[in-house]
Amino acid sequence: MNSLPMPPSTLRILAALALLLGLACAVVNGWFFALGLDRLEPDATARTPLLLAGWLMVATEHVAVGLAALLPAALAGLRRRLLWLGLALLTFECVSMFTAQRALEHVNVVATSAQATHAADLRAAIDSQRATLEQLRDNGTRQSESTNGWRQHLGATALRDSLAGQQQLQALESELAALQGGIRPTLTGVLGESGASAFAAARALLIGVMGLVLMGAAGQLWAATRPESAVQPAGSAATGANRHARANSAQALPRRVPPPATTAGATRAGSNWPPWSLLKGQIPPKRPPRPNSDLPYLKT
């Protein structure tokens, strides 16, 4: 693993990328808020200030988290307040996005149900008209085979009416086919009511958390480009820590006083000088040898 610090230019590029992705998440949050107001707020006059309030909360949330990551450690109290503000706004926005998604899903379910009902009614009308045309065609065929001229005329009229009705029936069948082709499956129809609610909650939470994490990463990466925030390699940091620990331990140890300088023949035991004189670096005199010494030059 490379332990060298990243150059400031690379950190700034990464911070800009994280900032762009965080702003994209903020736009998605505001978009969901606008869609929810469009579906749930019938008053157009109140919709405009509510929409501005939603965009203001989205912008405040992301800016607060980005500033909290960018501020130095000396402003820890302000950083905590900004983070709490961002979390509170995140909770509100997740609820807003969940509500907007459920509103959109409800609209889709209602539209799909209306299309299905219309298709069922149209299919019933087609079946009824098809039965009527078959009966009219049978009557016209039977009357056309009669020897009575009037009945033959009525039979021919019935056959013409059946042909016109057949054209109308084909138009209705084409409309039914187009209506059935326009019916789209809904999330509630695929996952069920509880599954659709869980999916909407997970999507709202992920979008909100993504925006906060990316804005915090952008602020922290940009703050790392400052000279006082430069990251040192792991080896140099450990070496500096060890050097600092050794300096502290050396200062904690008591200082030792070096012993006084002595010559080869001077000893503490053979000196008649007082002990305090040794602290001044003086050399005590030698004792004279005893009469019964075993030295060779004293033997007789």
- Say whether pLDDT at 250 is over 60: no
Cα gap 251→130, rounded to integer Å: 107
Ranges of each domain in the chain: 8-228
- Residue 202, Cβ density class (10 Å: 0-12 exposed, 13-18 middle, ≥19 buried): exposed
- Above pLDDT 90, what percent of the chain? 10
- Which range is least confidently modeled, 160-164, 182-186, 193-197? 160-164
Contacts of 86 (CB under 8 A, 6+ apart): 61, 62, 64, 65, 68, 212
Beta strands in the chain (DSSP E): none
| Model confidence pTM above 0.75 | no
One-letter amino acid identity for 14? L
- Please, which pLDDT band fits residue 162 given cuts at 50, 70 and 90? confident
Cα gap 9→224, rounded to integer Å: 11
If you count them, how many residues does the chain have?
300
